[in-house]
Structure formats: C-alpha cells, structure tokens
Structure 1
Amino acid sequence: MWNIPRDILEAEILCRLSIKSLLRFKCVSKEWHCLISDPKFALYRQKKQGEIDNNNTIHQRVLVLAISPDRLQSLHCLTRCITELNFNFPFESRPNVIIGSCNGLVCMALHGCKDFFIYNPSTRAHKKLPDPDISLGSPYLYGFGYDSSTDDYKVLAVSCLRVLLKVFSMKAFSWRDVHYNLGVKLFYGTESPPKGCLFNGALHWLVSGFHFGSQDPVIIAFDLAEEKFCRVGEACHPRSVSLGVVGGCLSLNVCCSNCVDKTTDFELWVMKQYGVHSSWER
C-alpha cells in the first residue's frame, strides 16, 4: 500500500473519498496529512468530483440562509428539495449575512458586516478576518471569490457612495484600498446588502440602470485577477432582483407581480452569450 505512486493515490483514491473519511485518514501518516491538508488537493478533489458526478449536482445546489436562527439550508435546483444543513456555527453569535461561497468555503459576516469569517462547513474550521474598517452606515457591495491567477481567495467591500474599494487577500491576510472609476457612483437595487455573483473569474452585481444611462438595471463585474471593473450589459427586465449562475450561464431572477390575483411569480432568464444582451433567454 505504501508503494502506491502519489499521483495514483491522489487522483484515483483520496479524491473519491468523503470529507469525513479524509479527515480520519489524516492520521495515517505525515505524508497523507500533508497531502490532504494541501489547499491544491482540495481544489483538485472538487474538480475531480465534478467530473465523476454525471448529474452535475454539485453545480445545481444553492446555499440558503434561513430566517430562523442557526439554520442553513441547501436548495436542489432540479428536484426543488430543501435540505437542512447542521453546520453548528462556531461563532459567538449567528452570522447574519452570507457574502458568498467558493470551492467549498463560505464567507460570512456578523454584526452588520463588521466582522468577517471564512468558514469551511465540511471541517468546521473557520478564520476571522481583520477589521476592514468600513462605515456601518454606508451602503456597500460585497463579494467573495477565488483568483486562480494568484491562487488566492479575495473578499471585496465596495462603497456605493465613495470611490473606494477594499480588497482582502487571504494570502497576505490583510485589507488594502483600491481606487476605481466607473464614471458614476454605484447604486444597487432590491438586495441588501448586495453580494457579488462569482462567474468567469469575476464578481457580478446588479445595480441601478438609471445612473448608467439605461432604464433597466445594469450588470457590472469586477475581475478578480486584473482587479478592474467593467460593464457587462443591461438586465433583460426592469424588475430583475438577483443574479446567479445556471447551466454555465449568468442568470437573472425577475419578479413579476400580478395585480389581479395579488400573487408574485418569478422568472428565470439566462444570458446564453456572456455580455450579449440579445442572448437573454427565458
């Protein structure tokens, strides 16, 4: 068993195991402990699991922060089943905002987005981030994602009133100020606080289209590698409320109220060609 080549051990054996089994197998040897603890192995395992899973269920689940205290739920987009997730938050108080999730890690915030944590639900490990020193009274856009160009996780806090962007680097374990220029001030829509949707290596937000010369809401994106903003295009409907990713495409949730029977329906639109407005499909 000990003569198994490392590449076979990693690619054909360990990457197929559950997180619970991997945590136990850390005790087998120092070599196994180092291999399983390596962040690169975690990324490789997730990629391999996606290839093994023919139903692609990994990308069809949505993490939901429930209204009741200490509850997280997982929504399966195909079956529409909601599963309770018993995470047992290791914090002094319950997180009130999920900033985003990426590669099995979840970025959460407490106390009105004053205290930030990176949390691994599988291992229950967590790390508190330094104080970003932002004004609690000012509106911000938030985001969390992985920059593959530098192998780094980043957290963003973008001021909607001032030309100020704070970027946290997990590698440097510190916040830094980055000045941006979109030509206008940022104004966001119904979601508060707005969390960035990670897609194509960039965080995306839905902001007020009026300030961008459009009647409909506008999608903007922040490239995590280049650390620059760009305008992706207009939303397909004035009642767009949130962004997502469905079937490898940027998606849009549209709220449609019926004044007659006083009901509310939601439509899902996908952008089949990234950045092409005419490619929106219901």
Structure 2
Amino acid sequence: MAIVASDLVVTEIMSRVPGKSLARFRSVSKQFRSLLSDPYFLRLHHSRSRDSLFTLKACQKIKVVSAVAALNDPRNLWTIRYNFQVTNKGLLVHDFTLDFIGLRIKLLSCQHQLLCVACSTGIHLYDPLNNVLKKLPDSPSSPWCFNRSHQECVVSFGFVDAAMQYKVVKWPHDLDENRTRRLPNGIVTTWKKVNQLKFEILNIDINVEDGGRLIVSPWRMLKMQCPYLLQLSSQVHVNGFIYWITADFQIVSFSLQDETFSTLNSKPSCFHLDTQGSQKSRFFTLCGSRGNLWMVDFDVSSQIMEIWKMEESGWAKIHKIDLGGTRPNKNGKVQMLDILSDQVLFELPSTGQLIRYHAKTNTLDNNEIYTDYQLCHFTDGPLSLHNIDMSDSSPHSSRYLNFESFLDTQPR
C-alpha cells in the first residue's frame, strides 16, 4: 500500500510539472520511466496543462531567393523567413526564425504539445518547447498543401485522446472551378461535392511502452465517402473533430477517432437558409480557438460582426462588434486569431488590418499589417520530436534519406 500511495503522490506532483522537465525525469529510474509513460498519466498531464495554454505567433519576416530549391522546381524560387515567438501567460519563452519553401505556411494546433506546419511544399511537425522541426513524408498523391486557385490550406491536424494518436488529414487538393453553385442569396461559390474525391490520412502513434516514441504510419486513403457539399476552405479543428459549413447551411463534422462524417443539429440562430434570400451581404466563418468552436457572422452592408460560441446548451452570442470606424471589409472574410472573454484578436485580409476588440470598453485597436500573421495554441506535454520513428512511414524509406536536412534544433 505504501508503494501505491507513493505512486499516487508522484503522479499528482508530476502532472503539474512542465513537460520539458518530464522528458528529463524519465531517465531517473525504470519506475519513473514507466510512471511518466503511462496513458493515464499522459492524459492527466494534458488535461491540467490545457489550463495554461502556450501561444505561438508567426510573422512573415522577409523573402529570400532560394536558387537551390528552384533548381528542383521553379515554383520554389521564394523562401519565406518567419519570426516565431513562443509565450506563456504573456511571458516570452523563446523566439527564433525558420525558413519555409514557398509563399504560404499555416500553423495547425491540436492543443497537445506538437504543432503541424503546412508549407507550400510539405508538412512538418514542430515541437515548440524543444524547438525541433521535422518534415513528414509527402503524400502519394501530391506534396502540395494549398489549393492552387485560392491558396487555401487543405491540411488538418488533430489529436485523438482515447488512442493517444495524432492524425494529419489532407483534403482533396484541387477544386473543380467549372462546377460552381449559386446560393439562394445570389452569390456564386466554389462549393464542390467531394464524395468522389479521396481524403488521405497519416497516423502518428505514441508508443507509451517505448518511452513515448512517436511512430509515423504510411499515408492511406479514407474509405468513408463524404455525402455533403463541403466548403473545403472553411475547415477548422476542435477537440478531435474537423468542422465545415456547407452550401445548404449545415455544419458538418468529421470525427478523427471514428473517421466518420455527421451534421450538427444545433446551429446559431443567424445561420439558416431561409433567412439568406434577402441578406445578400451576409458571410459566415467557422473558427476554432482555445478548444471551442466559434462562428463569425459578418454583414458587409452594416459592417456589424457577431461572434457565436458553441456551448453544451447550444449556441450563444458572445460579442457584437461594429467595424464602421475602420476601413470597410467588402469581401466579408474574417480570420479570428484569438478570443478571450473580454478581447478578440482578428484580421481582415481584404483591408490588411489587424484588429483587437476590447469588450469592456467597446473599443477597437487596429494596425496595418503587410505580412502574414498567424497565431495558435498548444499545451505543455512530455513528448519530444527527438524521439520519433519514421521507419514505418513508407515501404520505400530510402526516398526520405534527406529527412535530417529538415531538422532545425537551434534558433538562428
């Protein structure tokens, strides 16, 4: 009984220790290694670290001509250098710069320590605490991660808590621009029924019996066909589910655990097909932030933006923001970067403005931005990308012998 009590005490204490320290404690003894690798402990540590979210901000810094990359593909001429800052409770943990081939990157958070970075020519895993970046194998169909027509990211990243498993999903890359759909409000969109297209999935399993080693599986095609008319660019990840909106005003979810599609019965009161005929300037955007699903309802004519949150009891309107004092946002696109009970940080791509809304004073702070600005959150955990096994990722492993060239462990 004394040993059991001791293990319980150690578990309680260690579940509150920063993940970077836990990685070192595993080498203290076999007992510590077993305890700190136990699935129960990993889930406990994850649940408690979610209360202390880290923030990673990426700002595009400069364009660098990459002559070497351009020799392989002329589209790789430009390399973008990003300045990253990792903060916790407003305090800077560390900052660094990384270069990515191509003109676009997207930070994808699963709120379980590791981040996914999709750039124009590949997908990377990133460990912000240990500052390690590693490239994942390219999918068999295409290495590209952005839609070529609209430059929308077609990669999702999430964590399945029950299976202790990360999943990377690539949605169909190319939309058929000749198959458009006119909505009841008169707007022509590039919605497409994707049940004839294949979705690809890459599993990254945590082997708790081997000290938390990450094992990367080969890419595989999703067997389940999607029966819904998805707007692929609207996809967001929240707590193990991917969400989209559809052309007929539904909210569709995809379970990363079960790999099945379904629709949400609950929708914000503003999001209904029968109200759109007379509201031709209404735009809706799904957002995923801090473990919650949000919807932004933006009316171009009035420049009024409402933010709705999905709660257990249904959808609740959290903020109503008047953007009349800023430059008009004519295309209706809103990128919500972060949201708290009293503040909202969002970007208006059409106007190049980064805006912070203060709910207590009902005021706006806006700045002009001329570079890409992204922000996401992750939790502190005991994993490390130094402990990753990619031997099972492809039957032709020699194809990825240049894998170590993508490793960046030191700030530049």
Return the TM-score normalized by structure 2.
Answer: 0.49
Q: CA 1:97/1:249 → structure 2, altered by over 3 Å: closer, same or farther? A: closer
Give the CA deviation at 1:124.
2.7
Supply the AA of the counterpart residue of 2:19: I
- Secondary structure at 1:93 match in 2: strand
Structure 1 unaligned segments of length 5 or more: list them.
Answer: 51-55
The corresponding residue for 2:59 is 66
> Relative CO higher for 1 or 2, CA cutoff 8 Å, sep ≥ 6?
2
- Secondary structure at 1:5 match in 2: helix
Give the CA deviation at 1:167.
0.8
Report Cα offsets for 1:187-218 as digits up to 9, x if no partner.
Answer: 345xxxx553223x31223x3x43xx34xxx4
Say whether 1:103 aligns with 2:103.
no
Give the CA deviation at 1:173.
1.8
Q: Distance in 2 between matches of 1:267 and 1:72?
A: 30
The corresponding residue for 1:53 is none
Structure 2 unaligned segments of length 5 or more: list them.
Answer: 62-80, 176-193, 206-215, 272-281, 319-412
Give the CA deviation at 1:84.
5.3
Do the aligned residues in 1 keep the contact of 2:287 with 2:294 (CA within 8 Å)? yes
Give the CA deviation at 1:219.
2.4
Correspondences of 1:1-282 after superposition (within 5 Å)? 5-11=6-12, 13-33=13-33, 35-36=35-36, 41-50=41-50, 56-58=51-53, 63-68=56-61, 69-73=81-85, 86-88=94-96, 93=100, 96-110=105-119, 112=120, 114-135=121-142, 136=144, 141-159=154-172, 161=175, 162=194, 163-171=197-205, 173-189=217-233, 195-199=235-239, 201-205=240-244, 207=245, 209-210=246-247, 213-214=248-249, 218-232=250-264, 236-237=270-271, 238-245=282-289, 249-257=292-300, 266-273=305-312, 279-282=315-318
Give the CA deviation at 1:156.
0.8
Give the CA deviation at 1:87.
4.9
Do the aligned residues in 2 keep the contact of 1:105 with 1:121 (CA within 8 Å)? yes
Q: Which runs of 4+ in 1 moved over 6 A?
A: none
Q: Distance in 1 between matches of 2:6 and 2:45?
A: 17
Q: Distance in 2 between matches of 1:195 and 1:85?
A: 30
Count of residues in correspondence between the two structures? 245
Q: CA 1:126/1:34 → structure 2, altered by over 3 Å: closer, same or farther? A: farther
- Secondary structure at 1:174 match in 2: coil
Percent identity for Structure 1 against Structure 2: 21
Q: CA 1:148/1:99 → structure 2, altered by over 3 Å: closer, same or farther? A: same
| Structure (1 or 2) with the larger CA radius of gyration | 2
Provide the aligned C-alpha RMSD in A: 3.7
- Secondary structure at 2:82 match in 1: coil
- Secondary structure at 2:43 match in 1: helix
Do the aligned residues in 1 keep the contact of 2:86 with 2:94 (CA within 8 Å)? no
